[in-house]
Every structure is written in structure tokens, then in C-alpha cells.
Structure 1
């Protein structure tokens, strides 16, 4: 057991039913945050943590590559760069940042502004830059500048100040929406879904993690990797087209089947990929793109805060302190800057491996760091990226159902601290969950921020506003043409921010709950704050890298 888990249990001993439930959570952990399993076991567990998020970490670069019209040979290198950035960002966060065992990867919350930037550039919206490389350079510049603001918000302590406004009434729906946001993922709800393959993957995970976990330690520790490998081998075997002399074996699954495994793609890839800073060129900065990207950064920050609470809950640790949150968001900002330098679309905390912690009981920081080191190395190997890309969507869908269902339950479990007989609380929670699902569903009607701008009549609104203030402009000697540009840029920033945040369920629900919970009258006991104060780690419980490096380790002082 980890020290954090032990301290948490001791702190709550004798504290009633809530304390007992917290101890029970920590007892479910096979390896706590500070534990170091044997090296070989840790490598396998670390790879398992990363396998839970490979689908998403590949989906983001593939979506962007398709939107940019990127050549196939460049796309493989683009995907590899995402894994290199993910490995470095995870090592940085677990060592220098919040030190939680959370994998860092490509953010979906920043995908909407990224696609908007790509759409504008490739459509010729930026003079003389209609190709994929120009779009990527504009994307990099927007991320670097927007992330610089995130660094300042973290390390200047602005994010941590929010903690005093976060009660279980806010955190519960926010975490739940992290899981619920993927209920309609195409890997699950595609019209041509292979339900037998998805069911096989999900059934194996349930079998190993819930029914056979007491039979052997391997089933408890490796349910995800065992299920994935078995399901992939079955799908690959059914996809084989083999001819041995007079014997010919036709594939059971055709190339148009969602469970088809294209093994030929693996051998066609390059062995080593050249990945280095500014590999696509020098990033370029356009103000409108930066503003739009910052909306995506804000959405990722809300999601990350929810992730911090979720991993603390699952690992049996106290809720994150203000200091830990600041270091976490500050480091995410630094890694976003780094991702822009390397040529990807950002980096943020991933919910996938948090679900794996709940399934496996492995919350070791050391394990996640070893997995990150493996991903960092294999990101340069072309064969690896292509091999991972052969995992069929139905298998990924099975993983999603198991892991994200776990996160939904973790979010709901926070409600044990609040008074659920209070109509105030039930209204806030229900409202936050509903709008967190409904608003993103509405935003899904629009393919991009550009389509949303057209739907709200942005150009007409700006033109009408300019006409309305024309007398004022004339009085101060400013022409309509000169005023229209800045007004349109500002209006685009507002509309794009609404679209990006509105497309992110946990951002919508979390912000709704945050506002309502802090404006509707309610006692601290009613909102769960009195109980939660006792469960939140002290500021001195978190020692940053600088505290330890400079020899000011607060735990040693205690």
C-alpha cells in the first residue's frame, strides 16, 4: 500500500461510515501511488495503462491528418510524434507536476479549435498558405501562445484558487460527465458495429477483472491487456488471407468489416521515424487562432481538474490540494508548449487510464512512468504505430465501455458526502448532468466553429452592430471598414469559445454546477464541504519536485 493511502486511512479511522467507505476504496488498490512493483511486472502494467488510451491518441492525429490532407508517409511520423510527446509529457507530469499516475495524451477538448484553424488555412483563409504544412504551423503557433497563458494560470496559483468553490456537488457531475461523454463514441455506436467482437472484448474484461480476479493475481492486474490481446488475435486470425501451396485460406472478415485487422500495413511502414523539434517548420501566430485555441485550453483544464479528483478518489488519496492542482495545470501548460514545438495538437490528462486504475487497482506512479518511457521509445518506431493502428474499433469500444463506466461510478460515488434529501442539491446535480449531455449534443449539429458562426449569423450581426454605432464612429473619425475588422475578430472569439466549451460535456456540466452550487444558498454540511474538508489533503502533504530538489521536503519536516 502507498503511504498516501495509509495516511488517508489513518486520518479517517473512527470517522463513521464515510471514513469506512474511504478505507474500503484504498483497500481495493493493489499498488498505491508511491508503490514500486517488481520491474518486469511494472513494465507490463505500464504498457497496459498506455494501451487503454492508444485508440484516442491515434484518433486525434488521424482526424487532423485527414482534415489537412496530409500525405500517408507523413501521417505515420505525425502519429509517432504524438506518442513521443505523450511519453515525455507523462514523465514530466508524474515527476515534476502533480505527481498523480495520470497518462498525458492528445486532447479531444482542443480538437474543435484545431479543426477550425485547419479549415480556415486549407480553404485559403490565410493568404498563400493553403496546404497541410501551413495549417500545421498555424496550429502549432496557436497552441504555444495559448498554452503560455495556461502555464501562468497554474504556476501563479490562479487555478488552485478555484478549489475553495469546488464541492462534491460540483465534482460529482463533472467526473461522471467525463465517462458519459463517450457513450456515443463511434467505436461504440457505429452503424456497422461488430457487436460480437465488442462483446468479446468487454466480456473478457468483466471475466478477468470481476469474476476471476480472486483466482489469480494476473487476472486482477492485467484484465485490459489480456482482453485486448485475445480479442485482437481472434480478429487477426479471422482476417488472414493465407496460401500455402495448394492450401488457400480465405479471410472470414473482409476489408470492409469493422473487425478487420490489416496486418499488411505493419510491414509497409518505416522502421525508424525522424522526430525532432520544429520538424515541420517555424510555427506561425495568428491572433484569432490563438483566441480560439485558448477556449480549447480552458475546456481541457476543466477536464483535467475532474481527472485529478477522480484519480485521488480511486487511489484512496485525499482530494487534491490547491498546491497540487496548480502544479498539475502549470505542467500541462508547459507540455502544451512543448507539444507545439514538436508539432502536435496539445497534451492533457487522459481519463482512460484512470478507468484502468479502477479496474486493476494499479495506481502506481512508477508503473505509469515506465509505460511512458516505453511509449517515448516506440514512438520513433514506425512498425509500432502501424501495429497499434490495426486494433479494430470494436475492441476499442469494448475497452471504452468498461473503463468509462467505471469513471461514471466514481463521479457518482462523491455524492455520499452530500445531503441527497436536499432539493437544492438534487436540482444542481440533475441540471448539470442534463445540460452536460444536451448542449454538446446540440453543438454536434455543427461540423466546426465555422459552421457554428454561420448558424448564429455572425457576419450579419457584426454588420448590424457597425451600422448601429456608425454615428459614434463618425464622431471619433473611424471608418466602418476599420471598425469592422476588430469587431469581427472579437465576435469570432466569443462565438468560438461558446462552441468549443459547449462541445465539451464536462466543461458545460462542471461550469453549470460551479455557478449554481456557489449562488444557491446552502450550508457547508448540506453541500458536503464539511465532510470533504476532512478528506482533502493538506497543502503540506504535496511536495513538488522543487521542494524535494532544494531539500525542503515538507513530509520530512513533519
Structure 2
């Protein structure tokens, strides 16, 4: 359950970033839930960064890449070539890929009113909590000294550790809580947070271009329809 929550928050941002770099419309909630339901592991940030760097948003590229991955996994000698890439090169690629993914999230702030003190507080507090809380858990909970999260069983202790060690999850939970509680029902608060801009994309059929971007291949829409 805790791992699913972390995957939900980390992958949701990657989906929106991929739609942004692919020049697609914002992801409708039905497509977002479908993608998260099919997701196996939270490894979307690197693919989003690769999409931004190459500027190739074709599905055919993803399909060919998947075939290559299956081929390399069968023949271990070919996979060993990629495994022999030096770690500094891999780290440099991750800096570029994750940087692109993070910049896509910052780009969405253009729809918010950054002159509003409410928006400034929500952003500043969520960023600070997303940085400080996971660092606290790494130093004082996962360190050599016994942590503050204690329980009679191991699984009870793992739940808060998994959740609060994820920077994206802590920041998203903090921003969601503040955005829903600080004058959330007023018209000025809705305009400050930019929710009025996203409302027109809540329904799949609200935009005629949704099928061009989010329709499933091989007649899979009949089994997994979008609402």
C-alpha cells in the first residue's frame, strides 16, 4: 500500500511531464488512472527526460525500444555491454533526464498566480517539507541509531518509512493538503492555484484531440475505454 502511494505521486508527475514534452493535451484523469494501474515500477522520470532531450514522442520508438530490451535480456552478452557503461556516465545521464523532468513540473507553475501569498506559501512549504522530511528519515530512522518510528512488527515500521522517504510524495501530500484547506472554495483561490485552467481537461471527450494522443493501439480501447 505504501509503495503504491509513492508510485502514484512519482509517476503522476512523470505522465504530465511526458504529455507536456510530447505536445499533447493534459492527461485526463481516466487516462492517468489507467496508466498508473498498468505501471509496474516507478521508472518514468528517465523516459520523460529522454523524451525531452531527443524530442521524439512517437509510440513506434517506444515499441522498438521495448523489443530491444527484450532481445538484450535474452542474450546476456549483449546486455553486459550496457552494464559495463561507467557509473559516472550513467550519473551524468540521470542528471540530464531528471533535470528535464523537474523543469517540466516547474513549467506548470505558469498557470498559477505566483504573486499570490497563498500560492507562495503552498509552494514554499511543500518544497521545504519535500526536502527536509526525507532527509530526516534517512539520518535518524534508517541510520545506525534506533529511529523514532517504532512498532511491534516490521511491516508497520516500513509503511511510514517508504512514504516519508520519497521527496515527491511528501511534497505532493503537503501541497495537496494546503491547497484543499487554505480558502479552497473561494474563486480567488481557484484562480490562484490554476485549477480553473485544468477543469476543461477533466473529461476525456472534452477535447477532440484526446483520441489522437491517448487512444490505445490494437483495438484495446474496446476493453479499456476512457471516460
TM over 0.5: yes
Output the CA distance in 1 between the equivalents of 2:218 and 2:74.
31
**Aligned residue runs from structure 1 range 118-517, under 5 A:** 294-332=1-39, 336=40, 347-445=41-139, 448=142, 454-456=146-148, 458=150, 488-489=152-153, 492-517=154-179
The alpha-carbon distance between structure 1 residues 398 and 547, as it changes in their structure 2 partners (threshold 3 A), is same
Equivalent residue number for residue 34 of structure 1: none
**1:328 shift after superposition:** 0.9
Whether the 8 Å contact between 2:20 and 2:104 is mirrored in structure 1 is yes
Q: Deviations over 1:292-331 (max 9, x none)?
A: xx31222112111111111111112121112101211221
Instruction: Give the CA deviation at 1:349.
Output: 3.9
**Aligned counterpart for 2:193 among listed residues 527, 530, 534:** 527
Q: Report the alpha carbon displacement of residue 404 of structure 1 after superposing the two structures with TM.
A: 1.8
Give the Cα–Cα distance (whole angstroms) in 2 for the partners of residues 547 and 327 of structure 1.
Answer: 16
Higher helix share: 2
CA positional deviation for 1:525: 1.2
1:237-263 alpha-carbon deviations (Å, 9 max, x no partner)? xxxxxxxxxxxxxxxxxxxxxxxxxxx
| Alignment CA distance shift 1:364-1:546 (3 Å) | closer
Q: Distance in 2 between matches of 1:552 and 1:500?
A: 31
CA RMSD of aligned residues (A): 2.6
Q: Name structure 2 gaps, 5 residues minimum.
A: none
For residues 168 and 161 of structure 2, the distance between their equivalents in structure 1, rounded to whole angstroms, comes to 14
Contact 1:547–1:553 (CA under 8 A) maintained in structure 2: no
Within 1, Cα distance between the matches of 2:181 and 2:77?
54
Q: Distance in 2 between matches of 1:414 and 1:318?
A: 13
Cα 1:296–1:448 shift into 2, 3 Å: farther
Tell me the TM-score normalised to structure 2 length. Answer: 0.84
C-alpha deviation, 1:401, in angstroms: 2.0
Larger Rg: 1
Is the 8 Å Cα contact of residues 20 and 26 (structure 2) preserved in structure 1? yes
Of 199, 204, 208, which aligns to 1:539? 204
Q: Are residues 500 and 549 of structure 1, via their aligned partners in 2, closer, same or farther at CA, if it must alter by over 3 Å?
A: closer
TM-score, normalised on structure 1?
0.36
Question: Distance in 2 between the 1:382 and 1:432 partners?
Answer: 44
- Deviating above 6 A after TM superposition, structure 1's stretches of 4 or more consecutive aligned residues are 551-554
Deviation at 1:547, TM superposition (A): 6.4
Structure 1 position 512, deviation (Å): 0.8
In 1, the alpha carbon distance for the partners of 2:224 and 2:102 equals 38
Distance verdict in 2 for CA 1:521–1:407, change over 3 Å: same
- Partner SS state of residue 354, structure 1: helix
1:421/1:447 CA distance change after superposition, 3 Å: closer
Q: 1:546 to 1:382 in 2, by over 3 A?
A: closer
Listed as ranges, the gaps of 5+ residues in structure 1 are: 1-293, 337-346, 460-487
